[in-house]
Amino acid sequence: MALISDLRVLVAECPFYTPVMPGSGKPMSVRMTNFGQLGWVTDKAGYRYQPCHPETGRPWPAIPAQLQELWEKLARYPHPPEACLVNHYTGKARMGLHQDKDEIDFDAPVLSVSLGDTAVFRIGGSSRKDPTRSFKLQSGDVLVMGGPARMNFHGVDRFIPATSTLLSGGGRLNLTLRRVNLPVN
């Protein structure tokens, strides 16, 4: 897969870092980096989108063309993504139920690409108390959260080790393409 070799090169320029929770500074279990004009970051000060890597200070590299094309095909949204959050799951990494709500444009979908080990994904409704269900997300699966599902709570319970050989070190990579700001035109 050509995307994987691209990703290796890009991640070398914008290394994964360990994000921490606002206020508490508690480290999250996933490691993160971003591509695109804007990247989602979290630190003691809060959640936000910013143009540069919090540790290197360099701008995030561009979103790979292959991912841009995937957005064009599947997002059904007439403007390009501005951000690609890259989450790396290793060991006991998980992601609790949350909403993606730090964007301004809620009309654009969030498009997620799973790579590497299979994830046990969980999704509920737009209210925290809505019932949830879980299903597996395999390497190569693309999930579009758009329309009424845009604000659904979702997370990753765990990943299942050794279910893919795509990533040399094992683990799971999740790429989420997002639009952040409202389009100007």
Partner DNA sequence: CAGTGACG
Partner DNA sequence: AGCC
**Chain contacts with DNA (rule: CB under 7 A):** 21-24, 26, 28-29, 40, 42, 47, 94-102, 106, 122, 124, 126-129, 131-132, 151, 153, 155, 157
Between CA 83 and CA 67 the distance in angstroms is 11
Question: Whose Cβ is closer to DNA: residue 42's or residue 138's?
Answer: 42
Least distance between DNA and beta carbon 2 (Å): 28
Least distance between DNA and beta carbon 95 (Å): 5
Between CA 20 and CA 42 the distance in angstroms is 6
Least distance between DNA and beta carbon 45 (Å): 12
One-character DSSP codes across the chain: -HHHHHHHHHHHHS--B--B-TTT-PBPSSEEEEEESBEEEEETTEEEEESB-TTT-PBPPPPPHHHHHHHHHHS--SS---EEEEEEE-TT--EEEE---S-S--SS-EEEEEEESPEEEEE--SSTTS--EEEEE-TT-EEEE-GGGTT--EEEEEE-TTS--SSTT-SEEEEEEE--SPP--
Least distance between DNA and beta carbon 168 (Å): 25
Least distance between DNA and beta carbon 14 (Å): 18
Question: Whose Cβ is closer to DNA: residue 40's or residue 71's?
Answer: 40
Question: Whose Cβ is closer to DNA: residue 48's or residue 79's?
Answer: 48
